[in-house]
């Protein structure tokens, strides 16, 4: 019997030793959504429910070797990037993915859920100039929008202005996540012409570690499965909303979303 190969998705990100975010969240999301997940580890964190105790970048040549190994043999229908830590790593990843050409979902990770920095300050400009111009979708939260564009979002009316500022940096689509605004959370997706708003119920659950990683990985997974970008974002939002609703306590701090909520 020949078993068909599922769609393949590659994550390029940091490892979370606590299992709630980063590479671990990405791979759990990909399995839950029926694609084969692969990983290029760019950094290793010492992390738990209380925060990030430290992180260590991998050498650029190690990151490039992982990219070449996976893309040169197995290939990918979509790629997601997360924590890239430094300018040198962003450049290596941008060179490889720009040449490969698969749909790219960029989660421009700057800080952890606990407020710990995960990106060298000088790397922000490298993300702007090297990574965002090759992105299919970029998924910044409001703090990341301000970090990338200097646009501060005060209310839902500012979301389109923020998205246009992100689009000016070169991605095809911008998904500005408005979950930190008061009221019903609304995310705005646009390519500069079409505009989609995704709202959801605000859930009373503090255990939300890994939401950004999970959303970006879910979008990449649905793109690999054949959805267009608006369809992929809509289905990814449904998955993440369920995962947040089922988020559970872990350790003494903020617990993770439940990537397996559909199975449970």
**Residue 237: CA atoms inside 13 Å, Cβ hemisphere, count?**
24
Q: Which residues contact 215 (CB under 8 A, 6 or more apart)?
A: 107, 139, 177, 236, 237, 240
Structural tokens at position 52: 């990030």
* Residues catalogued as catalytic: 177, 208, 210-213
Whether the CB-CB separation of 93 and 81 falls below 8 Å is answered with yes
Whether the CB-CB separation of 77 and 5 falls below 8 Å is answered with no
What region does 115 belong to: left with phi over 0, alpha with psi -120 to 50, or beta?
A: left
Residue in this structure with the two tokens 């229908």, named with its chain if needed: 77
Q: Cα-Cα-Cα-Cα dihedral of 112, 103, 127, 93, to 10°?
A: 90
Whether the CB-CB separation of 51 and 112 falls below 8 Å is answered with yes
DSSP character for 124? H
Burial of 92 (0-12, 13-18, 19+ CB in 10 A): buried
């Amino acid at each position: 019997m020949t078993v068909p190969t599922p769609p393949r998705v590659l994550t390029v990100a940091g490892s979370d030793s606590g299992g709630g975010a980063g590479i671990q969240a990405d791979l759990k999301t990909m399995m839950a959504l029926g694609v084969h997940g692969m990983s290029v580890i760019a950094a290793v964190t010492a992390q738990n429910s209380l925060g990030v105790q430290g992180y260590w970048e991998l050498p650029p040549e190690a990151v490039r070797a992982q990219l070449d190994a996976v893309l040169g043999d197995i290939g990918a229908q979509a790629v997601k990037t997360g924590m890239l830590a430094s300018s040198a790593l962003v450049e290596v990843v941008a060179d490889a993915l720009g040449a490969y050409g698969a749909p790219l979902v960029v989660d421009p990770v700057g800080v952890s859920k606990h407020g710990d920095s995960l990106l060298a300050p000088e790397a922000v400009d490298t993300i702007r100039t090297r990574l965002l111009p090759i992105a299919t979708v970029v998924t910044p939260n409001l703090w990341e929008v301000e970090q990338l564009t200097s646009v501060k979002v005060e209310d839902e009316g500012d979301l389109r202005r923020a998205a246009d500022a992100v689009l000016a940096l070169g991605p095809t689509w911008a998904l500005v996540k408005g979950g930190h605004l008061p009221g019903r959370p609304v995310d705005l997706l646009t390519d500069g012409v079409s505009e989609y708003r995704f709202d959801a119920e605000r859930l009373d659950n503090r255990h939300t570690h890994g939401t950004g990683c999970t959303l970006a990985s879910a979008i990449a997974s649905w793109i690999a499965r054949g959805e267009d970008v608006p369809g992929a974002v809509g289905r990814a939002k449904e998955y993440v909303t369920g995962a947040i609703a089922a988020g559970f306590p872990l350790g003494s701090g903020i617990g993770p979303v439940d990537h397996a909520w559909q199975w449970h």
